[in-house]
Amino acid sequence: MWPGICRNSHATKVDDANTERLDIGCQRDEARSSRCRPSGSSQRRTAVVECHFEVAAFRSCQANPITSPISGVSNRHDDADRAPTLITFRQRMNINSVAPLIEQCTTTDGSRFKLDRAVAAFRQFGKNLHADDIAHVTLQRQAMRLSEQSVSAIAKRMDVEGYMHYQPAPDIRRALDIAKMRDVVVSLARAKIPTVFAFVYDEFWLTYWEFHNVIKAALGQREFFLLPDFWVWHVDAKEGEAGWAIHRDAGARSLLSDRETGAVSAWIPLVDVNTVTGCVMVVPKERDPDFGTDRVSQITFDVRDIRALPGCAGDLMLWDQALLHWGSRGSVFSETPRISMSIGIQVASLSPLNLPLLKPDVLPSVGLRLEMVAKQILQYSRHAAVAPEWCDVARVIFASGLSGITYELPPDWRLST
């Protein structure tokens, strides 16, 4: 994941008594940072969003310009950049991969998403999954327990190598609904719909709650938030596809004092993965001369130190967001696409790496999930090769007010009228 490539954006929640400004994109531009600060305050306030959209906490976030590890170009946008107009979007609605979903989810002119229609449409792809099903969530919302020995082993592995691989017990693995989750990703891929829309379903959030204590152990027993940095992959080696190129996620800014882990990426394969299907490759932090910097180089480390992370469906791979890693290219003889999902996680004491921070024990509403999916499409569009028409769909989602939050977006995230 590349949480560092998020774009600047803000959100405003309107209340009868007052108005709260919620930032949903970590401010990277010093020149723009003053417009994000509430009057009478020298620091920006950070929103932690709950499913009922109450502001649970505010923390300071320092402005931090950052350079994309792919393009080498600073992630600053120009006000002259303009998103496609609504007329352009209507023309694109006829594209085969977009038209069926748009017809089901939007108003007649395609200018707004309708939440009830969207939920009904996505239920067609995941008939065995749930979307905002409170009864199901109540039954499933349990976190596995860890022994003190396991907690100690996880912490030591993270401290020395910067990554760990957790294999849940068979009964836990069976409870994760991995096969159903895999099937819905396959269905979305076949329909040529960005597979990140799988995060509409409860199960893709509940799975991370199952691993709550594992994640907390990897973060030194610190409290943490989920980041709005997630993705779902369907990588078919037979089609010449490969994982994302060599990179660091948030890089040096994710580290605490003494280079302690302040943020992790939590990657879960939904099929068995190996060097044939393609898997995640890492350079352990004690073998990486550039660990603790934002440098991405293939010549500073010894290739003999590269570690492959094969695993079974339902395993959890955690790595420090400063760790150098990439997705390998599978074999053309692979019989199975690599299907996986990941989300970014940071400790509560760290300045936000992206916004809004999401409470790990509160399930976002479907409206907020769709808006966060739209955010992923727009912030990862170049790296995930998202088609332009789906970027337009993301803009329509933001314009539809599905969560009750009105967003003030950068120009190229807006759908102009």
Q: What is the pLDDT of residues 223-282, one digit of tens each?
A: 999 999 999 999 999 999 999 999 999 999 999 988 899 999 999 999 999 999 999 999
User: What whole-number percentage of the chain has pLDDT above 90?
Assistant: 57
Average pLDDT over residues 49-67: 30
Residue 269 maps to a domain: yes
Q: What is the pLDDT of residues 273-321, one digit of tens each?
A: 999 999 999 999 999 999 999 999 877 899 999 999 999 999 999 999 9
The rounded distance, in Å, linking the Cα atoms of 101 and 191 is 9
Residue 306 included in any domain: yes
377 assigned to some structural domain: no
Higher-confidence residue of 72 and 332: namely 332
38 assigned to some structural domain: no
Q: Is residue 98 part of a domain?
A: no
Query: Which pair of tokens denotes residue 411?
Result: 């120009």
| Region of poorest pLDDT, from 94-108, 132-146, 273-287, 360-374 | 94-108
Tokens representing 293 are: 């910097």
pLDDT value of residue 101: 78
Question: How many structural domains comprise the chain?
Answer: 1
Has residue 160 got a pLDDT over 50?
Answer: yes
Domain residue limits at 278: 126-364
Residue 327 lies in a domain: yes
| Mean of all residue pLDDT scores within the chain | 80
**CA–CA distance, 183 with 201 (Å, rounded to integer):** 13
Residue 212 clears pLDDT 50, i.e. is over it: yes
CA distance 9 to 108: 28
Beta-carbon contacts of residue 113 (< 8 Å; ≥ 6 apart): 105, 106, 370, 396, 397, 400, 402
Position 352 confidence tier, pLDDT thresholds 50, 70, 90: very high
Range in 40-44, 162-166, 378-382 with the lowest mean pLDDT: 40-44
Mean pLDDT, to the nearest integer, of 33-50? 39
Judged by DSSP in three states, 33 sits in helix
- 388-399 and 366-379 helices, crossing angle to 10°: 140
Q: Which of 151, 28, 52 is nearest to 44 (CA)?
A: 28
Residue 405 has pLDDT above 60, yes or no: yes
Residue 28 reports pLDDT greater than 60: no
| 194 assigned to some structural domain | yes
Higher per-residue confidence, 280 vs 16? 280
The pLDDT-based confidence of 140 (bands split at 50, 70, 90) is confident
pLDDT above 90 for 397? yes
Read off the pLDDT band of 81 (50, 70, 90): very low
pLDDT at 129 exceeding the cut of 90:
yes
Mean pLDDT for the stretch of residues 371-395: 91
The answer to whether residue 229 sits within a structural domain is: yes
Q: Answer yes or no: are the C-beta atoms of 340 and 268 closer than 8 Å.
A: yes
**pLDDT over threshold 60, residue 105:** yes
pLDDT at 51 (0 to 100): 37
pLDDT above 50 for 180: yes
Q: With the CA atoms of 187, 192, 193 and 196 taken in that order, what torsion angle do they form, in degrees rounded to the nearest 10?
A: 80
Question: Which residues, 6+ apart, have CB-to-CB distance to 49 below 8 Å?
Answer: 22, 55, 56, 356, 357, 358, 359, 364, 368
User: CATH number for the domain including 356?
Assistant: 2.60.120.620
